[in-house]
Structure 1
């Protein structure tokens, strides 16, 4: 008997929703079921261009998607300023929630979303796709290997992507009333998540934004960086920017090994992704080279990482819907920690780049 797929509704026709529409179609346990927009014509056009089946429901409002009793889950790619309203309403309508990042404007708003999810027994997950690539699990194995990697000492993460003139003037990510967190929320989110992933989600003690943050005339962050420090003297840095060439790197350094990734958010290829690992490295005599050389690990995937995310989310939803399971709290916990650190970086910038205690 064929597996009953999880039926997805999408709120809005944002550009990233094109990618998730494809992911929902590719994932073996999900189906595009409904799309809602404030414009019926826009919703119809989006459905026609993004592989929605002929049976898909086309609605002229977000509310209509949430009111459809056959929608199991919703993907919400709306501007961050609208997340708390629509995510809470989705949870109250008993719709499982796949929410685009950043999850909220601040952790207080995110807590309202999670309270609604918990009160209504729905699964929450944010849209950080690279977490679901099998490469990530393979890299975690290396970091956990005390013989090859040792004890983590420092992490450095970079995500930059130069926006053109139109982007820097008109994109929602540079508008304070829509996505007021700017580059910090959009691509800094990935840097912060990568650091937390590397340290097994242990929150830092302090966050200190680096001097030299660049803001537009409306006060939205276009480029910034930060250092993080832990009780046991682990350190990390990150930098994110809408003004520099595309770079997506993580370097994780331990007492015995080093991990490098150059495309951690979006792999260069969909079918495979790689990373390099060096263990117990040293210079040859007279520093003529490395011994041993770093090794490259190539990890294949059966479906793209965005579809892997949808598949895992749908699996969790199905286990709740049909198996009586409780929602998995791992994902909201990770999202909250990411949002919390992001908040503290913003606070440090606003306080003149002074250190800020993170807390919990």
Structure 2
């Protein structure tokens, strides 16, 4: 049964960034949402984006287009804003969107630092609007299945080690001109664009318990403007039994999205947790009781592959969950805000560790 038109969350898209193409499709696919308007600093650009991506409203007409962000926020028919603006612009426009009573689906990284994110979250709370950052992998059914495996301590045991990577190789044009390597727009570089995923994955695995301290490992690769192009960091939880974690993010390495969580009994692994290789299927690999044959080679067991199917891509599932929260809102659900806040705290700690010459930063 199709969603009744009156229950659809009407989205305004603020900006025509590349990721907005993927998300505009997700808004169309989610059964409880619809694109309603798009804004750019150029009206012609907004119209071209809407046309090229076939963004139609509830009546099947091309959605509204605006040549300024303020016009979009003043549209009384817009329920929620999807905001893929450069990170340096988030605090200004997110706070204004909240003040206009627009629910907020904000691209990651959420802000340049925790102080800025707190301004955004406070505005959302004061004005009673829902907040969620647009980290898609949380919403895939494989993620829920992996969490179920990890949480079964009787079978999985204590989590001793978490490792993950988020890398993709970029060309010279990206390194010279992309906003993600320009301090005016996205001063966190690869740490914000890619490390955000890894930090979120590590915290997710341990139920968002913050590490005792974070240490960036020598040496991060920075460009001439001080933007992080690649970095590695380790986390330590000092309470017994101890847990450690490491991640590596990079604009310079071959594509990698591995995540491994090692328990004292089992381990679970995904090669593509951030963005599944396939849109409608994703795998996880579970290993239990593995030992080397004859104590020297091979293994006595093979990893069990579990394939998880989904009818909607993870970005559409994210939009669907966000829209459900928006439509059911009485007081804003703070779960996603707290997840974003803890992730931002650890992003800040890694950045601080690099700036301090790779010293530990306690949380």
| TM-score exceeds 0.5 | yes
Retained in 2: the 8 A contact 1:91–1:116? yes
Deviations along 1:213-242, one digit per CA (max 9) or x if unpaired, are 010011100000101111222110011010
Structure 1 gap segments, 5+ residues each: none
- Are 1:48 and 2:51 counterparts? yes
Distance 2:266 2:188 in 1: 35
Retained in 1: the 8 A contact 2:54–2:62? no
Distance 1:25 1:318 in 2: 17
Alignment of 1:146-165 (within 5 A): 146-165=153-172
Match of residue 275 from structure 2: 266
Match of residue 113 from structure 2: 106
Which secondary structure state, in structure 2, belongs to the residue aligned with residue 285 of structure 1? coil
Match of residue 352 from structure 1: 357
Offset of residue 160 of structure 1: 0.8
Which secondary structure state, in structure 2, belongs to the residue aligned with residue 328 of structure 1? coil
Q: 2:95 aligns with which of 81, 88, 91?
A: 88
Offset of residue 281 of structure 1: 2.0
Deviations along 1:65-113, one digit per CA (max 9) or x if unpaired, are 1100000000000000000000000000000000000000000000000
Q: 2:206 aligns with which of 191, 199, 202?
A: 199
Which secondary structure state, in structure 2, belongs to the residue aligned with residue 229 of structure 1? strand
- Are 1:65 and 2:72 counterparts? yes
Offset of residue 283 of structure 1: 2.6
Distance 2:53 2:91 in 1: 27
Moved more, 142-151 or 73-82: 142-151
Offset of residue 292 of structure 1: 2.8
Match of residue 290 from structure 1: 299
Offset of residue 2 of structure 1: 2.0
Deviations along 1:101-127, one digit per CA (max 9) or x if unpaired, are 000000000000000000000000001
Q: 1:23 aligns with which of 20, 23, 26?
A: 26
Count of paired positions:
354
Match of residue 14 from structure 2: 11
Match of residue 254 from structure 2: 245
Offset of residue 12 of structure 1: 0.7
Distance 2:159 2:153 in 1: 10
Offset of residue 326 of structure 1: 1.9
Distance 1:106 1:146 in 2: 35
Retained in 2: the 8 A contact 1:25–1:51? no
Which secondary structure state, in structure 2, belongs to the residue aligned with residue 202 of structure 1? coil
Please report the TM-score for the alignment, with normalisation by the length of structure 1.
0.97
Alignment of 1:91-240 (within 5 A): 91-232=98-239, 233-240=242-249
Distance 2:299 2:306 in 1: 18
- Are 1:79 and 2:104 counterparts? no
Offset of residue 286 of structure 1: 4.6
Retained in 2: the 8 A contact 1:162–1:243? yes
Retained in 2: the 8 A contact 1:148–1:280? no
Deviations along 1:175-230, one digit per CA (max 9) or x if unpaired, are 00100000000001001011001111100010100001010011100000101111
Distance 1:2 1:127 in 2: 25
Retained in 2: the 8 A contact 1:21–1:51? no
Which secondary structure state, in structure 2, belongs to the residue aligned with residue 45 of structure 1? helix
Root-mean-square deviation (CA), in Å?
A: 1.0
Match of residue 334 from structure 1: 339
